[in-house]
Amino acid sequence: MIYYTYIYIYVCITLIELNFILVQELVEFMSKIRGNKVKFDANKLVLTAGSTSANETLMFCLADPGDAFLLPVPYYPGFDRDLKWRTGVEIVPIQCRSSNGFRITSSALEEAYLQAQDKGLKVKGVLVTNPSNPLGTTLTRDELDLLIDFAIDKEAHIVSDEIFSGTVFDSQSFVSIAEVLNDRNLEGSEVFDRVHIVYSLSKDLGVPGFRIGMVYSNDEQVVSAATKMSSFGLVSSQTQYTFSRMLSDKKFTAKYLKENRKRLKRRKEILVSGLKSAGIKCLKSNACLFAWVDMRSLLSSDTFEAEKELWKRIVYEVGLNVSPGSSCHCTEPGWFRMCFANMSEETLGVALQRFKAFAETLIRSKQQQQQSAGKCYSRTRSLTRWVFQLASDDRETDR
């Protein structure tokens, strides 16, 4: 009996040490992705089984059933499940539009806040993805400042899901909300404790099946509660060991991130160029594994019913599975999320050839319909003038 007790104690100590090593490696890795402009404290990080578990854990920690979080639209469809199903938290959309590249504005934030109040919902915070899923864009410093000012004014929390932070491959570099807090000297302030970061290795290292996520918070109570809740979604000891060894190889991770960004940029350029040749534009983006594609010109009408019909045709006739904007709660019909990182360049080329042929056929068909409608309209207009002239002549005669 004593022998088994010693074994149990040894295993527990080993697991604690293993967890400590992995957490230390993770905070160093997170700092590295952010250009070492911000340092993270290992004592404020809680391991979870993926970012799905991390986001749900934060909802349990920060809100009660019936409370609300504001999310800019379009947003990742899985949030309807992750944030709401078991927690009872409500999502209120921050309406972002294509006219300004779907950027967050102060008026949109205030409008969402008032909408929640009108529904009798208590707003506990704002959740954003940075870089954005599904837009593939990074939040600007102005947007991050806006969110922090909002959190200060409303005494609200901010959850920044930064799962794609290591995929930024073009234009401006990634700016974490932690960096902005530091730049504004807000460490130790009340709002500092109300900012929480979600991260995972799934996207940056391409290992979604291993389920390595984390909650990072400056609030000791949140860290304590999240640590207790993590017992229901642990990262296996084998996984912890594997990735503590992987992350300790700094040369490998640096080379991997650099090569990954290079390949993502090339794939995105291939996609954008191929779609452009088919007359389709994309939102300008600089991160993630997908593009936000503007297919409004292919719609039969400016409705979500037409968007759904177009989506079905792309799936069944072209053989491509893209995500319609309505699934991401986009308020403008005709936008689609198209992934480019889950296939070889050769396969991507085939996909683009198929889509180009489909788009060109659809555009020609629409043009022919418009020309036909124009001729009908011209004939109808001529007939109307003729009838009107006769009617006028008749009235003149009667007079």
Give 155-191 pLDDT, tens digit per residue: 999 999 999 999 999 866 799 999 999 999 999 899 9
Handedness of CA 103, 108, 113, 118 (dihedral sign): negative
Active-site residue, from 33, 44, 76, 91: 76
Question: How many Cβ atoms are within 10 Å of 197's Cβ, its own excluded?
Answer: 26
Judged by average pLDDT, the poorest of 161-175, 295-309, 319-333 is 161-175
Q: What is the pLDDT of residue 171?
A: 65
Tokens coding 213: 């996520």
Question: Which tens digits make up the pLDDT trace of 344-392?
Answer: 999 999 999 999 999 999 988 777 776 665 555 444 444 444 333 433 3
Segment 51-75 mean pLDDT: 97
Q: What is the pLDDT of residue 366?
A: 75
**DSSP designation for 298:** G
**DSSP designation for 92:** E
Percent of the chain with pLDDT over 70: 88
Residue 15 confidence (pLDDT) above 90: no
Residue 4 confidence (pLDDT) above 70: no
Q: What is the pLDDT of residue 375?
A: 56
Residue 397 confidence (pLDDT) above 50: no
Q: What is the pLDDT of residue 181?
A: 97
Bridge partners for 86 per DSSP: none
Q: What is the pLDDT of residue 19?
A: 82
Is 203 one of the catalytic residues? Answer: yes
The pTM for the full model equals 0.87
Handedness of CA 316, 320, 326, 328 (dihedral sign): positive
Q: What is the pLDDT of residue 231?
A: 87
Segment 115-134 mean pLDDT: 97
- Are the CB atoms for 166 and 190 separated by under 8 Å? no
CA distance 277 to 263: 21
Segment 96-121 mean pLDDT: 97
Tell me, rounded to whole angstroms, the distance of Cα 34 from its chain centroid: 19
Judged by average pLDDT, the poorest of 6-15, 141-150, 228-237 is 6-15
Is 366 one of the catalytic residues? Answer: no
Active-site residue, from 21, 91, 94, 163: 163
Strand 157-161 with 123-129, pairing? parallel
Is 276 one of the catalytic residues? Answer: no
Question: How much is the mean pLDDT over the chain?
Answer: 89
Contacts of residue 242, defined as CB under 8 A and 6 or more positions apart, other chains included, come to 210
The order of strands in the sheet holding 213-217 is: 45-48, 213-217, 195-200, 157-161, 123-129, 68-73, 90-95
What are the C-alpha distances in Å from 207 to residues 48, 50, 248? 15, 10, 17
Q: What is the pLDDT of residue 288?
A: 94
Q: Which helix (H) or strand (E) holds 195?
A: strand 195-200
Domains of the chain: 2-248 (3.40.640.10), 260-366 (3.90.1150.10)
Which amino acid is located at 72 in the chain?
P
Segment 220-240 mean pLDDT: 92
Active-site residue, from 203, 204, 219, 268: 203
Phi and psi, residue 392, nearest 5°: -65, -45
Q: What is the per-residue burial (b if ≥16 Cβ within 10 Å, else e) of 42-64?
A: eebbbbbbbbbbbbbbbbbbbbe
What are the C-alpha distances in Å from 231 to residues 243, 248, 259, 278? 19, 25, 35, 51
Q: What is the pLDDT of residue 386?
A: 39
Phi and psi, residue 198, nearest 5°: -110, 135
CA angle 106, 111, 113 (to 5 degrees): 95
Tokens coding 40: 């993270």
Q: What is the pLDDT of residue 170?
A: 81
CA distance 184 to 181: 5
Question: Which tens digits make up the pLDDT trace of 242-278?
Answer: 999 999 999 999 999 999 999 999 999 999 999 999 9
Bridge partners for 158 per DSSP: 126, 195
CA distance 226 to 235: 14
Segment 319-329 mean pLDDT: 95
Is 241 one of the catalytic residues? Answer: no
Q: What is the pLDDT of residue 368?
A: 72
CA distance 108 to 128: 14
Percent of the chain with pLDDT over 90: 79
Active-site residue, from 67, 161, 219, 294: 161
